[in-house]
Amino acid sequence: MAEGDNRSTNLLAAETASLEEQLQGWGEVMLMADKILRWERAWFPPAIMGVVSLVFLTIYYLDPSVLSGVSCFVMFLCLADYLVPILAPRIFGSNKWTTEQQQRFHEICSNLVKTRRRAVGWWKRLFTLKEEKPKMYFMTMIISLAAVAWVGQQVHNLLLTYLIVTFLLLLPGLNQHGIISKYIGMAKREINKLLKQKEKKNE
Distance CA(52)–CA(10), nearest Å, equals 39
pLDDT in tens, 95-146: 667 788 888 888 999 988 998 899 999 988 888 888 888 888 899 889 999 9
CA 2, chain centre distance (Å): 31
Question: Would you say the pTM of this structure is higher than 0.75?
Answer: yes
Q: How many Å is the Cα radius of gyration of the chain?
A: 22
pLDDT in tens, 45-68: 999 999 999 999 999 999 888 899
* 198: amino acid identity, one letter: K
pLDDT in tens, 2-49: 555 677 777 888 888 888 888 888 888 888 899 999 998 889 999 999
| Residue 113: closest CA among 5, 50, 22, 2 | 22
CB 149 within 8 A of CB 17: no
CB 37 within 8 A of CB 169: yes
**What sign does the CA torsion over 19, 23, 28, 30 have?**
negative
pLDDT in tens, 140-190: 889 999 998 898 888 888 899 999 999 999 998 888 888 888 888 888 888
CB 104 within 8 A of CB 31: yes
